[in-house]
Amino acid sequence: MIAVLTGDDRPAGLEERADGAEIRFASESTLAAALPGADVLLTWDFLSHAVPGAWHAADSVRWVHTASAGVDKVTFPELLASDAVLTNSRGIFDRPMAEYVLGCVLAFAKDLPGTLALQSRTRWRHRETEGVAGKRATVVGSGPIGHAIADLLRAVGLRTELVGRRGGEGVHPFDALDGLLPTTDFLVLAAPLTDTTRGMLDKAALDALPDSARVINVGRGGLVVEQDLVDALAGRRIAGAALDVFETEPLPDDSPLWAMPNVIVSPHMSGDVVGWRDLLVDLFLDNLTRYRAGEPLRNVVDKSLGYVSGKG
């Protein structure tokens, strides 16, 4: 039996394509009641914090799948200590998120926010803009999303460095980041949220960046010490930020980030393109077929690391 934690929408076609599996759809408030007897939990509402509080009712869950690449909402101690296999939706968001990051880089370089602001006031003001060829980008996160971002940035001429947990061929280890920051024009955060990466962009890291640098965060809000970022932006210690994720989501109405002219705010949508929900359902159903056949699942998360290790 499959328990599905849903939000405002349900996974289209799941019931029709699940080959007779019993499915219980649940909201945050009814998840605990839906879990007893379920051997599979699909967290379709991957931004929800409901699973830890309902996990006490999971008496037979053997597999948890999240419709997201990040797994920080479901890596709580009780699940990590359990025998349940955890899988994610790695592979769905790589190219869309890379395109989003490239769009932000070009928007900053070509001052599209400034153009739109002037247009709204019917102001004709000629300016010169920046070229991106030869600029330096540092992408933190060397999984498929980070690699896709690096590939697109390199395609338009940015000299791009990848930073990962261990490093390796073409990837700097995480402890090399400090040495890269002083020459970074675009710092892209695409890492999973773990004990190592939480709060990695703090005052010290921001101070190490050139005052012309821009920060683009498509990973998790917890990667950034948000008040330190606000202070750096307000003091013009960095030139701008494009933020798709935040410490608190939705971003509170009173956040100063909304009104800052050097900030692009988007509502956690960098990987969401037309058809993405269908791809998420396809991936889950493929894994469901594997699960029923006793075959290895795709995208198994190493619970000690907090992400899919290797080819997963």
Cα–chain center distance at 253: 22
Of the residues 220, 290, 295, 298, only one is catalytic, namely 220
Of the residues 10, 62, 268, 277, only one is catalytic, namely 268
CB atoms within 10 A of CB 235: 10
Residue found under tokens 């006031």: 121
Amino acid identity, position 25 = F
Q: How many CA atoms lie within 13 A of 250 on its CB side?
A: 5
Query: Is 220 an annotated catalytic residue?
Result: yes
| Residue 137 DSSP SS3 | strand
Q: Burial code of 92-103, b = ≥16 C-beta within 10 A, e = fewer?
A: bbbbbbbbbbbb
How many angstroms separate the CA atoms of 232 and 257, rounded? 12
Of the residues 22, 78, 249, 295, only one is catalytic, namely 249
How many angstroms separate the CA atoms of 109 and 106, rounded? 5
Active site residues: 220, 249, 268
